[in-house]
Structure 1
Amino acid sequence: MALPDLVLVHGGEHSGNCWDFVVAELHRRAPELRVLAVDLPGRGRTPGDLATATIGEWVASVVADVEAAGLGEVVIVGHSMAGVTVPGVVARLGSSRVREMILAAAFVPPHGLSIADKLGGPLAALARYAAKGGKPMKIPRVVTQYAFCNGMTREQRRLTMSRLCTESARIPGEPVDRSGFPNDVPRTWILTTRDRALSVKSQHASIAALGGVQHVIAVQACHELMFSHPARLAQILLERCRLHAK
């Protein structure tokens, strides 16, 4: 039976290489699974100007990467700030191609509002400051380490911090538009229960803003579960893909 292709979309201050350990584990468990870990514009392999970035541009970039890779039916995964991008990608690709949307430790503002409008917790003030200034920035290391890396080993923390990058300040201030989002695409949420960046309460609010999900899978992990729990995350993603095998 053929598996759908898997598309991984990173969050803020990340690039596609944040998925490296997850991708390696997926290839070990299911070498036949095609996996695409995208770089959003302005990092990695994808050129772009973080100072002028828009959600629409990022959506178009992911769709272009999917098409360039020759992918067919897909399961698409978004982490953290990808909660504002992935629903737009799903809307563009449509329910005929997207077998499932999975959001992991994500932030999803209500339709018509922005991340800066609704985000709470340790990153809220920085998101609002960045949205007002508009200049690409990087969260101070002490804040990032506190919000992202709790419970990690020293090596996991070192690697996570080494891969963080400058991020757009415009995206957190841009209102989301989910008017074209197809309601018939199954939705799964990976709930990080030890997350300091996005609390369990915050994630449930994002689930409600999205209009609900069919499945919630709890993982006792910090925000950066790609680094702290790559094998568990790979297992979850592979199980979801196998549900849609043909």
Structure 2
Amino acid sequence: MAETFVLVHGAWHGAWCWAAVVNQLEKLGDKAYAVDLPGHGMNQADRSKVTLQNYVDSVAEFIERHQLKDVVLAGHSLGGLTIPGVAAKIPSRIKRVVWVTALVALDGQPIVDPVTSPIAQGADSLPERSISIEMMGKEFVDGLSNDMAPAMKEYVLAAVGPQPIAPMMTPVAMAPYFATGIPSSYIVCEDDQTPVAGAPNWHPYFSSRLNNPTLKFVKSGHEVMFTHPVECAQALHELAHGE
């Protein structure tokens, strides 16, 4: 049976980052859609005014406009903050939610402290209240791209755009998502070396915040969509089928 996927990108990225994964899912007989969040890619918006609720509303509106049902909703990295809100808003259309080496917030808490975080303070001084990936520092960029060939790293760093800071500083409501009872999954990228505050690894630091998630392991760094799109698509496909 063909599955329907809606793929949500992470910080600095856009729908373009999922191109190879979409292609692979279609080869497996599935339908896949990648969306641009407001302020990213082709979805132009005033980045200084973009909020997490804007992210949620835009994805939910996309799913409803295309009349999609039984959707496997997947979010990469920062996309993990958007997908629970979408599922809670339109639960009847969502079959499963998949965090792809993604952030999982604690209920009612933001990922970035708006008072103490240097990231937030840096963005507040900029007109668009947005940060570039370079502002995260060499350690972060090197961890993000640890398994990329030099040419691929150069391409990705050239392609990414500014990231609005407000969605990172917004408390995330996880309880409404958990109340839906929609199954959760987490794709663990075993070689993800992107620095995480409070833990050395994204799994189990973030994955353990979900309720009994099914896990899939991929031998990949953080940017799995670029370095291992075939394995990423296969993991998504199997999770959709309950494997």
Give the TM-score band, short-chain normalised: 0.7 to 0.9
Distance in 2, matches of 1:40 and 1:92, equals 16
Show structure 1 runs of 5+ residues with no match: 119-123
1:160 aligns with 2:156: yes
State the Cα distance separating 1:62 from its structure 2 match: 0.4
Q: Which residue does 2:32 correspond to in 1?
A: 35
Q: Which residue does 1:114 correspond to in 2?
A: 110
Q: For residues 131 and 209 of structure 1, do their structure 2 counterparts lie closer, same or farther at Cα, with a shift above 3 Å needed? A: farther
Q: Deviations over 1:59-100 (max 9, x none)?
A: 000011112222121000000001111000010111x32111
State the Cα distance separating 1:183 from its structure 2 match: 4.5
Q: Percent identity?
A: 28
From 110, 119, 143, the counterpart of 1:127: 119
Q: Which residue does 1:148 correspond to in 2?
A: 144
State the Cα distance separating 1:219 from its structure 2 match: 1.6
Show structure 2 runs of 5+ residues with no match: none
Do the aligned residues in 2 keep the contact of 1:191 with 1:200 (CA within 8 Å)? no
Q: For residues 133 and 213 of structure 1, do their structure 2 counterparts lie closer, same or farther at Cα, with a shift above 3 Å needed? A: farther
Do the aligned residues in 2 keep the contact of 1:40 with 1:58 (CA within 8 Å)? yes
Do the aligned residues in 2 keep the contact of 1:117 with 1:173 (CA within 8 Å)? yes
- 3-state SS of paired residue (1:115): coil
Distance in 2, matches of 1:20 and 1:139, equals 21
How is 1:37-116 mapped onto 2 (pairs within 5 angstroms)?
37-94=34-91, 96-116=92-112
1:194 aligns with 2:186: no
- Alignment TM-score, normalising by the size of structure 2: 0.87
Do the aligned residues in 1 keep the contact of 2:107 with 2:174 (CA within 8 Å)? yes
1:139 aligns with 2:138: no
Distance in 1, matches of 2:118 and 2:12, equals 13
**Deviation >4 Å, runs of 4+:** 130-134
- Say how many residue pairs are matched: 234
Q: Which residue does 1:185 correspond to in 2?
A: 182
Q: For residues 208 and 130 of structure 1, do their structure 2 counterparts lie closer, same or farther at Cα, with a shift above 3 Å needed? A: farther
State the Cα distance separating 1:106 from its structure 2 match: 0.8
Q: For residues 47 and 225 of structure 1, do their structure 2 counterparts lie closer, same or farther at Cα, with a shift above 3 Å needed? A: same
- 3-state SS of paired residue (2:176): coil
Distance in 1, matches of 2:236 and 2:27, equals 13
- Alignment TM-score, normalising by the size of structure 1: 0.86
